[in-house]
C-alpha cells in the first residue's frame, strides 16, 4: 500500500471523492508474474473528483508532462473534453515515475458522471471496472450516495448475470458472467486484449470475488442458493429459480440504459413494464440480455478509445496500443 500512497502524494488531494487502482499491475491474473515481481506492467488508476476543472488546473501545474499537446488549450478545454465526450473519462497514459520504479495510466472522472454510470449503466465503462475486485486508494465510506451507488452496481451485476446463467452453475461460471458484462461487447477484446482475460482474472481472484459479492448473495438468497461440499464446506455450485416471475423480478431492476436496449432488442412493443412480462418467458432471454449489454459496451469502448488518442498523444497511443496488441497473442 505504501507504493500507492507515494503515487497519490504526487497528485492534487483536494476534491477527491474516490480513487481506486485496477488491472493486472494491481490485481493478480493468471499468466502474469506475481504483483511484487512485475517490472514492466502499468498501474491503472481512476481519480473520481468533485471539481474536474480545479483538479486539472492544479494537476497541469504539477505535471505538465503528463498531458499531451491538449494542455496548451488550457484546463477548461481539458475539463470539457473530459465531460462532454464518450464515457466522460480523461486518461493520461504511460506516465513514468522513475524514482518509484513504475509507469501509470490514470483516468479522471467527475463524481457526478461516476454516479450516473453506476446507477444507470449509461456507459458501463467505470461501472464495469468496478464489477471486478479493485484496490481502494482513497475510500468512499464517508460519501453515502456513492457508497449506495457502488453497492447497487454490484447487486445489479449479480442479477443480470443470473439472467445469463442456467439453473445450476459454479462460482467460476458466475464470476465469469459478471466480468463478461463489461468485456464481451468491448471491441478491444477482438484486437488488443488477451483472449483469456476474463478466465485469468476470475481464476486468480476467486476469493476476492466471493468477498465482493457476499452482500449481493445475501440480499438475493431467496432466488439463488449455494450448495456446499459436505467435507470442505466450500461452495460446490449455485442453484437458482429460473421461473418467469423471477426473471421478471431481475429485469425490473435493470438500469435505465439497459432498459432502453432491452426495449430495442425485444420482439414486443409497449412500456418496459409490459415488455418484460413477455420477455421473462422467452427461451432466448439470455441472448437478448447479452446483446443489450453488449450494445452499451461496444459504443462506449469505441468512442472512449478514440477519445484517448488525442489525450495520450500519437506517440504514447502507438506505444500503448502496441503493448495491448501483444496481449492479443499471449496465452
**pLDDT at position 331, please?**
45
Beta carbons within 10 angstroms of residue 184's beta carbon:
17
**pLDDT at position 185, please?**
79
Q: Is 47 helix (H, G, I), strand (E, B) or coil?
A: strand
* 4/192 Cα distance (integer angstroms): 27
* 83/76 Cα distance (integer angstroms): 10
Cβ 200 vs Cβ 30: under 8 Å: yes
Beta carbons within 10 angstroms of residue 193's beta carbon:
18
**pLDDT at position 324, please?**
54
Residues with Cβ within 8 Å of 72's Cβ and at least 6 positions away in sequence, in order, are: none
What's the pLDDT tens digit per position in 72-100?
A: 999 999 999 999 999 999 999 999 999 99
pTM: 0.92
What's the pLDDT tens digit per position in 18-71?
A: 999 998 888 877 766 666 655 667 899 999 999 999 999 999 999 999 999 999
Question: Which residue in the block uniquely carries the three cell numbers 506475481?
Answer: 34
Q: What is the mean pLDDT of the chain?
A: 90
What's the pLDDT tens digit per position in 233-273?
A: 788 899 999 999 999 999 999 999 999 999 999 989 999 99
Beta strands in the chain (DSSP E): 16-22, 42-49, 90-97, 102-110, 135-138, 168-169, 224-228, 235-240
Q: Is 168 helix (H, G, I), strand (E, B) or coil?
A: strand
Amino acid at each position: 500500500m505504501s507504493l500507492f500512497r507515494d503515487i497519490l502524494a504526487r497528485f492534487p488531494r483536494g476534491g477527491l471523492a474516490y480513487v481506486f487502482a485496477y488491472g493486472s499491475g494491481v490485481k493478480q491474473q493468471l499468466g502474469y508474474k506475481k504483483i511484487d515481481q512485475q517490472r514492466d506492467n502499468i498501474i491503472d488508476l481512476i481519480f473520481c473528483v468533485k471539481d474536474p476543472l480545479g483538479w486539472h488546473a492544479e494537476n497541469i501545474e504539477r505535471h505538465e508532462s503528463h498531458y499531451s499537446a491538449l494542455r496548451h488549450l488550457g484546463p477548461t478545454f481539458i475539463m470539457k473534453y473530459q465531460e462532454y465526450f464518450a464515457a466522460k473519462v480523461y486518461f493520461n497514459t504511460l506516465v513514468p515515475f522513475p524514482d518509484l520504479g513504475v509507469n501509470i495510466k490514470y483516468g479522471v472522472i467527475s463524481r457526478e458522471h461516476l454516479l450516473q454510470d453506476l446507477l444507470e449503466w449509461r456507459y458501463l465503462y467505470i461501472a464495469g471496472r468496478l464489477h471486478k475486485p479493485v484496490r481502494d486508494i482513497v475510500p468512499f465510506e464517508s460519501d453515502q450516495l456513492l457508497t449506495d451507488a457502488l453497492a447497487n452496481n454490484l447487486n445489479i451485476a449479480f442479477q443480470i448475470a443470473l439472467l445469463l446463467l442456467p439453473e445450476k452453475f459454479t462460482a467460476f461460471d458466475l464470476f465469469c458472467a459478471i466480468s463478461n458484462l463489461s468485456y464481451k461487447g468491448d471491441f478491444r477484446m477482438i484486437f488488443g486484449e488477451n483472449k483469456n482475460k476474463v478466465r485469468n482474472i476470475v481464476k486468480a481472484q476467486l476469493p476476492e470475488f466471493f468477498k465482493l459479492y457476499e452482500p449481493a448473495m445475501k440480499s438475493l438468497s431467496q432466488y439463488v442458493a449455494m450448495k456446499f461440499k459436505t467435507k470442505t464446506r466450500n461452495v460446490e455450485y449455485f442453484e437458482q429459480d429460473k421461473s418467469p416471475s423471477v426473471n421478471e423480478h431481475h429485469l425490473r431492476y435493470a438500469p435505465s440504459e439497459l432498459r432502453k436496449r432491452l426495449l430495442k432488442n425485444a420482439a414486443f412493443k409497449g412500456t418496459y413494464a409490459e415488455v418484460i412480462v413477455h420477455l421473462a418467458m422467452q427461451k432466448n432471454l439470455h441472448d437478448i440480455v447479452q446483446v443489450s449489454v453488449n450494445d452499451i459496451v461496444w459504443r462506449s469502448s469505441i468512442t472512449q478509445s478514440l477519445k484517448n488518442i488525442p489525450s495520450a498523444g500519437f506517440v504514447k497511443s502507438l506505444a500503448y496500443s502496441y503493448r495491448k496488441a501483444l496481449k492479443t497473442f499471449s496465452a
